[in-house]
Amino acid sequence: MDDREVFFRVVEANGFGAAARRLDTTPASVSRRVKALEQRLGVRLLQRTTRKISLTEAGERYYQEGRRLLHELDDLEQALSASTREPEGELRIVAPISFGQRRLAPLVAHFAKLHGKLRISLILEDRETDLIDVAADLAIRIGYPADSSMVGRAIAPVPRHACASPEYLERRGCPASPTDLLQHDCLHYSLISEREEWTFLDQDGEQTLAIKGSFCSNNGDVLAEAAMQGMGITMLPSFIIEQGLADGRLIKVLQDYERAPLTLFALYPSRQHVPAKTRKFIEFLMDHLVDTG
């Protein structure tokens, strides 16, 4: 224990004698350690009387800011220590169904092979799950997290495209500009937001439209199927519509207008004392999901 920690113990114990008992040493030794710190800093930290001690202005500042820095150093040391430990126990992950099946499941399998002491539970559901309710370690979400009490770590961009079936475009016409969507049936992805708005980017800036349609779902595969059946135009992440685009059942529309990308987030309860299993899985995702397209 260095002189700084001895000083903090004296302040918290409100005296040299009490601090000495907690440190299993003598009051004289504690006093010498504090004096050595004061001499090194060139300031008086404590006012001493026969009955009590009190902090000087410099001592108050040193105690408050120094204690905070020590806590941050403790957190850093724990994080570094966690990074070298082999993850173990159970890692419970919550994720959207479509993303979980198409992108996350293979990565989870790979991660599990790398860490044989770990048990992994992957919970797939298309709703804003409370991590406490399901005893989960982290959640994977697409779009900005609604729960501000969680720590959100951005993992990767999520490209998305507006598309429809050839049959629908032949019947209703192909939109030439975003405003043309106001005359179309638009299939809304309610997992991302409750508001039926689509945003496009062009040389004039950002354009947001309140789209309308007769069908919505909180599952992207359901919307992709509806679009392939000719029910309307949808805007979905590329990992959901890639097969439909590849085999011609879907066609991109408004390709001259860039869609505002979404972001894939990992959410977890606190920045402090993040378990090794959670930290390593997030780092693994960031290494392997540079782009979710």
Average of per-residue pLDDT across 179-208: 81
As a whole number of angstroms, the distance between CA 212 and CA 186 comes to: 6
Mean pLDDT value across residues 261-279: 82
- The share of the chain scoring above pLDDT 70, in percent, equals 89
Phi first, then psi, for residue 147 (nearest 5°) are: -90, 100
Distance CA 97, CA 158 (A): 15
Question: pLDDT band at 89, cuts 50/70/90?
Answer: confident
**Encoded tokens for 286:** 């960031």
Helix spans in 85-219 (H): 97-99, 105-114, 166-172
Residue labelled with tokens 């378990």: 275
The continuous run of DSSP H or E covering 21 comes out as: helix 16-23
Give the C-alpha distances (Å, rounded to integers) separating 160 from 263, 270, 271, 293: 11, 30, 30, 8
Average pLDDT score over residue span 172-196: 85
What's the confidence (pLDDT) of residue 285?
A: 94
Q: Kindly state which CATH superfamily the domain 89-154+264-288 is placed in.
A: Periplasmic binding protein-like II (3.40.190.10)
More confident position, 117 or 171: 171
Q: Alpha helix locations (H) across 115-181?
A: 166-172
For residue 142, the model assigns a pLDDT of 86
pLDDT value of residue 44: 92
What single-letter DSSP state applies at residue 148? T
CATH code of the domain made up of 160-260: 3.40.190.10
Predicted pLDDT at 101: 93
pLDDT at 189: 80
CA distance 90 to 117: 9
Closest alpha carbon to 252 in 229, 240, 235, 231: 235
> What's residue 64's pLDDT?
87
Q: Output DSSP code: residue 133.
A: T
When pLDDT is cut at 50, 70 and 90, the band that residue 161 belongs to is: very high
Whether the pTM exceeds 0.75: the reply is no
The pLDDT tens digits of the residues spanning 8-50 come to 888 888 888 888 888 889 989 999 999 999 999 999 999 887 6
pLDDT at 182: 93
Each domain of the chain, given as residue ranges in start order, spans: 3-84, 89-154+264-288, 160-260
Q: Residue 56 has which token pair?
A: 């000087």
Q: Do domains 3-84 and 89-154+264-288 have the same CATH topology?
A: no
Tokens of 119: 């048990």
Q: 18-26: long-range contacts at Cβ-Cβ below 8 A with a sequence spacing of 24 or more?
A: none
pLDDT band for 292, please (50, 70, 90 cuts): low
Amino acid at 226: A
Distance in angstroms (rounded) separating the CA atoms of residues 289 and 291: 5
CATH of region 3-84: 1.10.10.10
pLDDT in the model for residue 49: 73
Whether residue 142 contacts residue 158, with contact meaning beta carbons closer than 8 Å, is answered with yes
Mean pLDDT of 109-119: 92
Q: At what angle do helices 27-41 and 3-13 cross, to 10 degrees?
A: 120
**233-237 and 160-164 as β-strands: parallel, antiparallel, unpaired?**
antiparallel
CB of 165 closer than 8 Å to CB of 251: yes
Contacts of 286 (CB under 8 A, 6+ apart): 155, 156
CB-count burial class (<10 Å; 0-12, 13-18, 19+) for 135: exposed
